[in-house]
A and B are shown apart, each in its own frame.
Chain A
Amino acid sequence: MGLENVIAAALPEVLTTRLDSLINWARKSSLWPATFGLACCAIEMMNATASRNDLARFGSEVFRASPRQADVMIVSGRVSRKMAPVLRRIYDQMPEPKWVISMGACATSGGVFDNYAIVQGVDKIVPVDVYIPGCPPRPEMLIHAVMMLQDKVMKESSLNRKDIPEEEAREAVVPGTLPVTDGSTVSDNLLPESRPYTIASKHERRRSS
């Protein structure tokens, strides 16, 4: 366009782009996964990070153990009913923006195990962005899924990003298992004899939420 040519001629060190492109490019180039390997697909995920199929080439440099530092949760393996609330908790602990890749047939739809113990698809618990079939999928398929996710991230709009509202996230878990953040347990924390299993931290004890 004419304006860009003018700027390029006048200020050659200046780069012009859309804000969305810049933000999305930064986000997609360093998608750090949270370690959520559950079963056999986790071994193929480890193979995808090993030296033969190197996932770090695509930005997933480290797998963060703490969900607070992760961008994408790769659910690899079968999700049992005992594990399902834990999975939702970890998902809620990830900060926005976050994405979910459901790796393997068991995470996508229950897989081979259509029985009492396995949740038939992790999208009954968390919203999924990319599904990978296979039992287990080859590491190249996981890399392809990460690339598809990167394409999806590029198309996002940072103005209209549909983050999950806090009330819905809070309702999703069994009541009483999330840390209480509305300031009502401040008085409990001051008494040494009644000590809940999680202590609200200083920012959670503020009455502003």
Chain B
Amino acid sequence: MTNGADNDRDLPRQTSTTSTKSSTPSPLVTALQRAHPDWIAEVREAYGEITVMVQREHIQVVCSQLKNSPEARFDFLADLCGVDRGPEEEPRFEVNYHLFSTTIHHRVRLKVLLSEDDLHVPTVTNVWRTANWHERETFDLFGIIFDGHPDLRRILLPDDWQGHALRKDFPLRGYEPYSLK
């Protein structure tokens, strides 16, 4: 019987995150960094995925670059979701953009970090029209405001709902049970 001696068989460690300065990043990332070094804050690679941190002001330009450039060709916005890291973290909120290329079949994740007192991000609906509903959902559940969105209103929760449901300080059961009156 094993006595806990085989520590290798326990939970495997994740692949270490790499920064752009060392080791070999993918060619897409190098091309992007070479073209516009000031737009991109950091690049991470983990679990076979590339995460690019983008400054909030440049997100529209980065997205349209990635959509139109011939070596990237990210014409498909797969997902746009918000994350609340918790009230103690700074910056508290993130917005993740998952991009996919229907021709080259590669993926990348863009990440914008937001702090709680300035929850504004430029919209990307002019780059991909599918961002419309995703941004409405992120606004509905987190309260992140997308500047320039054509129709930013609640989509999943009732229109007169108070609060943003997926924030960590919103209680799971809500504030009061349902009653008809």
CB distance A125 to B172 under 8 Å? Answer: no
Give bound CA distance, A173 to B180, whole Å.
7
Instruction: Choose from B175, B178, B180 the contact partner of A172 (Cβ within 8 Å).
Output: B180
B128 beta carbon closer than 8 Å to chain A: no
Query: What residues of chain B lie closer than 8 Å to A82, measured between beta carbons?
Result: 157-158
Query: What residues of chain A lie closer than 8 Å to B174, measured between beta carbons?
Result: 115-117
B173 beta carbon closer than 8 Å to chain A: yes
- List which B129-181 residues lie within 8 A (CB) of chain A: 157-158, 165, 170-175, 177-181
Q: Closest Cβ of chain A: how far from B78's Cβ, in Å?
A: 25
Q: Closest Cβ of chain B: how far from A90's Cβ, in Å?
A: 14
A84 beta carbon closer than 8 Å to chain B: yes
Given A124-B179, A125-B180, A173-B180: A116 in contact with B158 (beta carbons within 8 A)? no
CB distance A81 to B158 under 8 Å? Answer: yes
Instruction: Choose from B173, B180, B181 the contact partner of A116 (Cβ within 8 Å).
Output: B173
- List which A73-89 residues lie within 8 A (CB) of chain B: 81-82, 84-85, 88
With an 8 Å Cβ cutoff, the count of chain B residues facing the other chain is 14
By secondary structure, the B interface counts as loop
Query: What residues of chain A lie closer than 8 Å to B179, measured between beta carbons?
Result: 124
Could you count the A-B residue pairs with CB atoms below 8 Å apart for me: how many are there?
A: 34
CB distance A120 to B180 under 8 Å? Answer: no
Query: What residues of chain B lie closer than 8 Å to A125, measured between beta carbons?
Result: 180
Query: What residues of chain A lie closer than 8 Å to B173, measured between beta carbons?
Result: 114-116
State which size class the interface on A falls in. Answer: 10 to 19
Query: What residues of chain B lie closer than 8 Å to A84, measured between beta carbons?
Result: 178, 180
Instruction: Choose from A116, A120, A172, A173 the contact partner of B171 (Cβ within 8 Å).
Output: A116
Query: What residues of chain A lie closer than 8 Å to B170, measured between beta carbons?
Result: 116
Given A115-B172, A116-B165, A116-B173: A81 in contact with B178 (beta carbons within 8 A)? yes
- List which A115-136 residues lie within 8 A (CB) of chain B: 115-117, 119-120, 124-125
**Contacts from A to B (Cβ < 8 Å):** 81-82, 84-85, 88, 114-117, 119-120, 124-125, 171-173
- Other A-B contacts than A115-B173, A116-B171, 4 sampled, CB-CB below 8 A, are A116-B172, A117-B174, A124-B178, A172-B180
